[in-house]
Chain A
């Protein structure tokens, strides 16, 4: 039925971490390495975890899949598609061997995020290995569960700094019946932002939006009747648009030689860089800039609007990748890391100093 290999290396991983905890030392937890660029670079030895693979439980009618973190995202998506299901957050792969663990740890979501939840919203439970070499389980395998602090969801986007994700249970969603993309002309970013946010107040089956170079693209996904009615009401031009290409940052704007900057803002916020080429996704919440940027100045502007700026890729090493936290918040977050990884074994410094 599926190509997902079944290999359980939990015992070996436990032994490795226990040895590290006893001897002291730190590692960089690495799956396939597809998202290794994301975050501050580390010069510690890699700890390879991608071999820990296999489906633990998948009953499509329960809308939940439980799998080992080394499963390849590509293969899991294929398995879900066989049952006309999918992940609801359209995560980028950034490499053919991208793993489920890397997807959860990076917390990166794709075009659908603007209109559905992020990865955190779909994670239901984890089995993880902490910095003492102890195996812990949080959350569960059911959709509704409020027993205990929800640490499983805190792991989403923690970039491997809290421990090794061994298994994860994720809620899945049914595949839409039909999908189509409409194009509209909006000469300015601000015109697009206003238009797409006004659309959000109406119950259209929106599943993605993107603006670039004067053109807004709007993706509709849902039932045949729902999508067709929306097309009739919205007008626009039906176009072919490769959302996967945008998700994987294969578009011309994302040239690898140039620094790439991600600006996150409350969706209806004004354009911070009028006239500059950019991709605006997620109804205005996620904006990509290519080329040299004064990150500090941009951060100052974004903060006043409730947003933040990530020096996503290819920036000078003296620019902090992630938007700095307030000192009290950083202190709190460090204490959370220490509670799971007291000796700082895992990916320390990936997000912020000490985190």
Chain B
């Protein structure tokens, strides 16, 4: 893209945006080249940082008129390349729109701008005894607008739901610069319910400019019990047994041995480094309720073959038990030059089949894999350890990742539980969905954005892309898994 076009456009946007809110210098643009999936990089034409809804509208009107692709961006923590810039388009950063506009205690809601950090909401309402439930691992940095775009989850979503379940209203700017709203504060919706389309739409349907989130009362008591196992299968069966008791834990997480070792080495949470698996189970509610449930869960874990169960003695130890799990990604980052995080979901009963498959694939590719698992909802995060300095290793890592996702589909699961498709999983979308479904996705997109200007090239593969992916993955004249139900 020519420098003169960049300059001309920058001047146009500076008519209504402060000079420093239009980023056009290559050194500054470099900060926006990638998001959390740093293997993919692209330099945008410009980065724009509006501070008001009106400015977002003006930006969109100009981009619409000039047919410029627009990639919206929150905090840039996407792990799927959702905010990867378009070389001929602008990045629309919502990072400067970070005010909490209103907290309504009686209605238990907060109205916030999209750039507000996830954790900042809970911090702001803590003194009122309230919090915002979805807690993705990146919650200290990630923005609520990005959470809406990705339908972010977290360790507590089995009990408290994903972002979709915790949003009451959205204000959006459409591709033509017009504002529209989806308001479900009345717990009712007129006409079609667009919330599930918009939440998780990866910036392809509209720009989120205001979010009304649901606030929940902070549970009076939360306690954590850890179960130590000699086999991941036994740990997995224990999760099913806890749920069969009628208990929905606030969080239930599993780590396998490589993940346990990395985490223990990093945070010294007291994890047993010889264990094949640990389960970390949090229960919340009233004091008496939690005491009773902890007793039940400890019994289930022991009957399920746990070699040890440990109850966090106090709040400090509860947080310590969690710290290892929450730091699992950076912990793995310390033992390997690079790691690649996969995000498949499986029916829980397929866990041992999938873990066995991952072990075999890991051996075949010669790349170690550590597994952390949102065990309650079947969301598996295998972390592939690799070194990008070794020629071809990134490509082999991506291929291994793709194989793992295909295994998840084969087992009745899905290629992404919470990280989104982005640019990363376009190929696997060709396997999970048939052509008719993919065509329907494109049709839905065109209802909102007929010119396909919003985040083009993400989330839904084109026909050509799938043809290419399938030709790369044809073995002995067959596309992968022609027999599976594409569900």
Tell me the smallest distance from the CB of A96 to a CB of chain B, in Å.
Answer: 27
A144 at the interface (CB under 8 A from B): yes
Contact of B345 among A144, A148, A198, A328 (CB under 8 A): A144
Tell me the smallest distance from the CB of B253 to a CB of chain A, in Å.
Answer: 13
A318 to B216, CA, bound (A): 42
Establish whether residues B243 and A174, one from each chain, have CB atoms under 8 Å apart when the complex forms. yes
Establish whether residues A117 and B190, one from each chain, have CB atoms under 8 Å apart when the complex forms. no
Size of B's binding interface in residues, CB under 8 A: 94
Contact of A333 among B169, B192, B432 (CB under 8 A): B192
Interface-forming stretch among A4-12, A74-82, A132-140?
A132-140
Establish whether residues B441 and A223, one from each chain, have CB atoms under 8 Å apart when the complex forms. no
Establish whether residues B186 and A146, one from each chain, have CB atoms under 8 Å apart when the complex forms. no
Q: What are 28 A-B contacts defined by CB distance under 8 Å?
A: A59-B349, A61-B349, A117-B165, A135-B436, A142-B346, A142-B378, A143-B377, A144-B162, A146-B416, A146-B419, A149-B197, A149-B460, A150-B196, A150-B197, A154-B193, A156-B193, A157-B189, A175-B246, A197-B108, A200-B108, A201-B128, A202-B129, A203-B219, A265-B186, A308-B190, A328-B178, A333-B192, A339-B443
Task: Kindly supply a per-residue 1/0 record for chain B positions 438-461, scoring 1 wherever the CB is within 8 Å of any chain A CB and 0 otherwise.
Answer: 001101111110000000000110
Name the interface residues of B406-455: CB closer than 8 Å to any CB of A. Answer: 412-421, 425, 429, 432-434, 436-437, 440-441, 443-448
Establish whether residues B377 and A223, one from each chain, have CB atoms under 8 Å apart when the complex forms. no
Given contacts A141-B487, A201-B108, A306-B183, contact A148 B433 (CB under 8 A): yes
B interface list, Cβ under 8 A from A = 104-108, 128-130, 150-151, 153, 157-158, 161-162, 164-165, 169, 178, 180, 183, 185-197, 199-201, 217-220, 240-241, 243-244, 246-248, 285-286, 288-289, 291-293, 345-349, 374, 377-379, 412-421, 425, 429, 432-434, 436-437, 440-441, 443-448, 459-460, 485-487
Given contacts A141-B487, A225-B289, contact A153 B107 (CB under 8 A): no
- Not counting A60-B244, A145-B345, A154-B192, a sample of 13 additional A-B residue pairs whose C-beta atoms are within 8 angstroms of each other reads A61-B348, A137-B433, A146-B416, A147-B414, A147-B433, A149-B201, A154-B196, A158-B192, A174-B246, A223-B285, A223-B293, A225-B289, A307-B186
Establish whether residues B158 and A154, one from each chain, have CB atoms under 8 Å apart when the complex forms. no
Establish whether residues B347 and A141, one from each chain, have CB atoms under 8 Å apart when the complex forms. yes
A273 to B235, CA, bound (A): 56
Instruction: Classify chain A's interface size.
Output: 35 or more
A352 to B191, CA, bound (A): 8
Residues of A within 8 A of B487 (CB): 125, 127, 137, 140-141
**Looking at chain B's contact residues, is the secondary structure mostly helix, strand, loop, or mixed?**
loop
Name the interface residues of A110-135: CB closer than 8 Å to any CB of B. Answer: 113-114, 117-118, 120-121, 125, 127, 130, 134-135
A1 at the interface (CB under 8 A from B): no
Given contacts A150-B196, A157-B192, contact A266 B285 (CB under 8 A): no
Closest-by-CB residue of A relative to B348 is: A62
Name the interface residues of A189-212: CB closer than 8 Å to any CB of B. Answer: 194, 197-198, 200-203, 205
Establish whether residues A285 and B193, one from each chain, have CB atoms under 8 Å apart when the complex forms. no
Establish whether residues A340 and B106, one from each chain, have CB atoms under 8 Å apart when the complex forms. no
Closest-by-CB residue of B relative to A83 is: B244
Tell me the smallest distance from the CB of B138 to a CB of chain A, in Å.
Answer: 15
Contact of A142 among B183, B201, B417 (CB under 8 A): B417
Establish whether residues A268 and B292, one from each chain, have CB atoms under 8 Å apart when the complex forms. no
A interface list, Cβ under 8 A from B = 59-64, 84, 107, 113-114, 117-118, 120-121, 125, 127, 130, 134-138, 140-154, 156-158, 162, 173-175, 177, 194, 197-198, 200-203, 205, 222-226, 228-230, 264-268, 282, 285-286, 306-308, 322-323, 325-326, 328-330, 332-333, 335-337, 339-340, 351-352, 355
Residues of A within 8 A of B448 (CB): 332
Residues of B within 8 A of A228 (CB): 288
Closest-by-CB residue of A relative to B104 is: A268
Residues of A within 8 A of B347 (CB): 59, 62, 64, 141-142
Contact of A332 among B348, B378, B447 (CB under 8 A): B447
Closest-by-CB residue of B relative to A113 is: B187
> Closest 4 interchain pairs by CB?
A153-B196, A264-B188, A225-B288, A144-B417
Contact of B200 among A59, A63, A150, A340 (CB under 8 A): A150
Tell me the smallest distance from the CB of B303 to a CB of chain A, in Å.
Answer: 15
Contact of A151 among B197, B217, B414 (CB under 8 A): B197
Contact of A285 among B158, B188, B201 (CB under 8 A): B188
Establish whether residues A222 and B289, one from each chain, have CB atoms under 8 Å apart when the complex forms. yes
